[in-house]
Structure 1
Amino acid sequence: MTVPTAGDGQLAPTRRLLALSASAFAVLAAEPLYLLVDTAVVGHLGARDLAGLGVGAALMTLLTIVGTFVEYGTTSRAARAYGAGRTDAAVREGVQASWLAAGIGVVLVAAGEVFAGPLTGLLAGGGPVHHTAEQWFRVAVLGLPGVLLVLAGNGWMRGVQRTREPVVIVVAANGLSAVLCPLFVYPLGWGLTGSAVANVVAQAVGGVLFVLALRRTGTSLRPDTTVMWAQAVVGRDLVIRAAAFQVAFLTAAGVASRMGTAQIGAHQIGLQLWDFTALLLDSFAIAAQSLVGAALGAADPATARAMSWQVSRWGLYAGGALAVVFGAGTLVIPGLFTSSDAVVDQAHVLWPWLVAMLPLAGVVFALDGVLIGAGDVGYLRTVTIVAAVFAFAPLNLLALRLDWGLGGVWAGLSSFIVVRLVGMLWRVRGERWLVVGAHDPAG
């Protein structure tokens, strides 16, 4: 079986990095661009609906943490097999990741529907925001199987450096949803629920298209519990790492919601913009996952190390460029997402923190990709837990207790970036992550 790749395997490392990054950029940009459209559409319904979207979206993000291993864990394992010349085995990783994604997605839908009320109430603190958040979430959670199938599909395709098809699938699905969202919210009069329905449509279409892509490879679609178990072992540390992220971000959402409606609305705008820039910066990290994994699979640690510093420089450049854009747009960008003067004022409180952390975040995300590609997920788990539990979460709680306002919440996010940056720079300077061979050392 022949699987299309990004291009000539003899391309210079920089050109291969940029080719893979460009593909990842297009895929990653599609979802947050839709979410930004979603936020802008809902934002003009009023502050309460925007706040409800913020709480519901935070909870959806929590439930999708398992996507970390069906996507990134699959990329790492598939890339090592691909680097060792075992393309069929790399694609089989995608088949088994898709089975895991579908099964876990169904379980999460059931759990989400059962606990929708208590979970949204915990984050929103009761009142009208709780009602709108629960209303949005009960519909949006139905899209989780599609979300996880899309993540699994992206994972194996990145591992074999197949770049074009994921772009077409993800852009088409999210483009459809971006068209449907304003239609459902306003002309059809569905309000906030229309936003959730548009989400589910995009996610279902994307999941089906990635399954069809697997069928076209000719690989057997039978489940293999041995491979799925190995993926689950890799997933253990990636899920714990992702859970540490979500504990911190859910703490931030809960703190902001208790500061007031304007604060949670502004936090939702800032968080969506942060997610957008984070995923764009992650395009270099995803390229690094594929290239570092392939290099180590081919027993070439020198190339893996060189790639780690190269991708870090590109992450720094990209983060700096985004900081310039956001800094220049301080007075304009927040107003694009809401008509509430109070929400815009609160967005200006968090804005300096958002701008200042972007260059550092570019390096952090790049090194994340390097260590995931190397299978060094145990270390990533530990450094992320330390940053979330001992830096981010405490500062967020203090911001509420000591009345620091939304600036205190975003100071906590900045500390989360700094602690991870220090920890990962120290790790990549050493040798312990440079484990060669076709099999992922974490699995």
Structure 2
Amino acid sequence: MARPHDREILRLAVPAFLALVAEPLFLLADAAIIGHLGTAQLAGLGIAAVILQTAIGLCVFLAYGTTASVARLLGAGNRRAALTQGMDGVWLAVAIGTLTTVAGVLLTDWLIGLFDPGETVAGYAATYLQISFLGTVPLLVMLAATGVLRGLQDTRTPLYVAVLGNVLNVLLNFALVYGVGPVPGLGIAGAAIGSVIAQVLSAAALLWVVGRAARTEHASLRPHLAGVRRAARAGVALVIRTLTLRAALLVTTYAVVSTGATGSPTTEVNLATHQLAMTLWTFLAFVLDAIAIAAQAITGRYLGAGDVTPTRAVTRRMLQWGIGSGVVTGVLLAGVAPFIGVLFTPDQAVRDLLVPVLLVAALAQPVAGIVFVLDGVLIGAGDGAYLAWGGLAVLVAYAPVALLTATSGGGLVVLWVVFGAVFMGARCVVLLLRAHSDRWMVTGAPAVRP
């Protein structure tokens, strides 16, 4: 059974892997380019990135939930209904993105003030964040359209768009940050502007592909209130699940700020180091998430077709792939830890602190492999309610330990040990307990308007 499952997993996971490697480079490019402007600018990016990633991350259900629902309908043999449901998801993305943009721009200063990073860092963070919020609608449309294509078992198109968008992003950021020819250097603002332009063009490309597929199947392109509401209801549990994950990351960043006096050089170094480490962690998380994306698409399709036995078999196989991938990424991260800091910052204090933090992150990679795969399986099965309750339990267990570590003078390295052992360890236990049961394997697909 393993061989055919391997082929199917690889067919979906390899393009998803390459696309997910490209997507975090939006932030990696900003970190590398902004890092050479100065430590304060990099620390400002760290604050802005956490806020922006939280706002966008809460809407990841637009990709994950859409993948699962479209895949179920595809497995049930109704491609037209699948695309109809997918278009309703895109319209939901437009509505949520518009509200998020308005709220984000108006609340930028207040959001940054929650971290109390000091006047200099706060100024850079506000500049980057206000501009970046203008790209919220295209970012969410990208999530929804990517979810539709993954549900249709197409992970190649998102790959092509991600690669081209990322290349454009790097070129625009470099030109707008430092200035090229008649183009003036705009500093940290230039990085945000370049990213927004690349996001708009990437969203337009994905939307064109999905719209063409919908027209081919004679699916409606117009928003349908009942369908948009259905997509929103399906995403509520995933929003709660994602909110708990983002809350844990926010708690971690707050704990980093608490490790030193406000505005002190130590706090700036800790924040800058944490930003680089979390950026690299996110990069590797997306790499591991490639198998989870395959899990979402395959699990949804199999359960939609009523095939329970293959669902269980492919879950076991994907779990093996997740552990193996985690070992590989852990070894690679440990290997580059002493050298990678020079790519992002000239600050020797940040480079020195980054090494032990990355070694801790490397040790947690195999556990992360298990977590991401099982998370994808349960999302593909539509088991959002369990993921929401499990996320709440993990947050309750992790937050007090992280805050206590910071206030007791544990330091950044110890804080990352807590992040890997308590946060990722607890998530692993919660997901393994569910995966060993049969409660998540619900078959069939819902009725969708013609």
TM-score (structure 1 length as normaliser): 0.94
Q: Is the 8 A contact 2:93 2:137 kept in 1?
A: yes
SS state at 1:431 partner: coil
Q: Tell me the residue number matched to 2:253.
A: 253
- 2:263 corresponds in structure 1 to none
Deviates further, 124-133 or 174-183: 124-133
Paired with 2:371 and 2:103, the residues of 1 have a C-alpha distance of: 33
Q: Partner amino acid for 2:240?
A: I
2:13 corresponding residue in structure 1: 21
How far did 1:124 drift? 3.9
Alignment pair present for 1:280 and 2:276: no
Aligned partner of residue 154 in structure 2, secondary structure: coil
CA–CA distance in structure 2, aligned partners of residues 289 and 62 of structure 1:
22
Structure 1 residue 336, shift from structure 2 partner: 1.8
| Corresponding residue for residue 178 of structure 1 | 170
Tell me what 1:3 maps to. Answer: none
Which of 379, 395, 398 pairs up with 2:401?
395
**Given that residues 318 and 373 in structure 2 are in contact (C-alpha distance below 8 angstroms), is that contact kept between their aligned partners in structure 1?**
yes
Distance 1:124 1:320 in 2: 37
- Residue in 1 that maps onto 2:416: 410
Equivalent residue, structure 2, for 1:114: 106
Are 2:71 and 2:301, in contact at CA under 8 Å, matched by a contact in 1?
yes
Give distance in 2, aligned partners of 1:65 and 1:385.
16
- Give the conservation status (yes or no) of the 8 Å contact 2:100–2:136: yes
Indicate the residue corresponding to 1:8 in structure 2.
Answer: none
Match of 2:80 among 88, 97, 100: 88
Distance 2:68 2:353 in 1: 40
The correspondence of residues 70-219 of structure 1 with structure 2, limited to 5 A, is: 70-187=62-179, 188-217=184-213, 218=215, 219=219
Q: Distance in 1 between matches of 2:139 and 2:115?
A: 23
Partner of 1:436 in structure 2?
A: 443
Mapped partners of 1:149, 1:389: distance in 2: 32
Q: Does residue 376 of structure 1 match 2:372?
A: no
Matching residue of 2:340: 333
Q: Does the residue aligned with 1:161 lie in a helix, a strand or coil?
A: coil
- SS in structure 2 at match of 1:12: helix
Counterpart in the other structure of 1:242: 242
Runs of 4+ residues deviating >3 angstroms: none
Per the TM alignment, residue 111 of structure 1 is displaced from its structure 2 partner at its CA by: 0.2
107-116 vs 379-388, which moves further? 379-388
Partner of 1:224: 224
1:96-132 Cα deviation digits (max 9, x unpaired): 1110111111111100111100101112433211111
| Structure 1 residue 39 corresponds to structure 2 residue 31 | yes
What letter corresponds to residue 208 of structure 2 in structure 1? L
CA contact (8 A) 1:244 1:389 kept: no
The more displaced of 215-224 and 191-200 is 215-224
| 2:416 alignment partner AA | W
Q: Deviations over 1:259-290 (max 9, x none)?
A: 30000000000000000000110000000100
Scaled by the length of structure 2, the TM-score of the pair is: 0.93
Q: CA deviation at 1:65?
A: 2.9
CA distance in 2 between counterparts of 1:314 and 1:98 reads 31
Residue-pair matches, total: 429
Give the distance between the partners of 2:160 and 2:382, measured in 1 at CA: 28
Q: How big is each residue's C-alpha offset from its partner over 1:318-374, in whole Å with a ceiling of 9 and x where there is no partner? A: 110011111112211122211101111221231222011001101110000000001
Letter in 2 for 1:299: G
Unmatched 5+ residue regions in structure 1?
Answer: 1-10
Return the alpha-carbon distance in structure 1 between the equivalents of residues 427 and 186 of structure 2.
42
Residue 67 of structure 1 aligns to a residue in which SS? Answer: coil
* 74-83 or 228-237: bigger deviation: 228-237
The CA deviation at 1:399 is 2.2
Q: Is the 8 A contact 2:58 2:246 kept in 1?
A: no
Q: Is the 8 A contact 2:273 2:350 kept in 1?
A: yes
* TM-fit CA distance, 1:377: 0.8
Residue 397 of structure 1, CA deviation: 0.8
Number of the residue aligned with 2:264: none
Range with bigger deviation, 276-285 or 413-422: 413-422
Query: Following the alignment from structure 2 to structure 1, what is the Cα–Cα distance between the partners of residues 110 and 268?
Result: 20
Match of 2:364, SS state, is helix
Q: Is the 8 A contact 1:67 1:152 kept in 2?
A: no
Tell me which moved more, 300-309 or 266-275: 300-309
SS of 1:286's equivalent in the other structure is helix
Counterpart Cα distance in 2 of 1:139 and 1:34: 15
Rate the CA distance shift 1:172–1:124 in 2: closer, same or farther, 3 A.
farther
Letter of the aligned partner of 1:239 in structure 2?
A: V
Residues 124 and 311 of structure 1, relative CA distance in 2, 3 Å threshold: farther
* Of 67-76 and 248-257, the range deviating more from structure 2: 248-257
Aligned counterpart in structure 2 of residue 294 of structure 1, from 296, 301, 309:
301
Aligned ranges for residues 296-335 of structure 1 at < 5 Å?
296-335=303-342
Query: Secondary structure of 1:123's match?
Result: coil
Identify which range, 140-149 or 28-37, moves more after superposition. 28-37
Alpha-carbon separation, structure 1, partners of 2:128 and 2:116: 13
In structure 2, the gaps of 5 or more residues are 261-266
Whole-Å separation in 2 of the counterparts to 1:38 and 1:257: 21
Q: Which residue of 2 aligns with 1:267?
A: 274
CA drift of 1:91 comes to: 1.1
Q: Distance in 2 between matches of 1:311 and 1:93?
A: 27
- Do 1:395 and 1:411's aligned partners in 2 also have CA atoms closer than 8 Å? no
Q: Distance in 1 between matches of 2:29 and 2:223?
A: 38
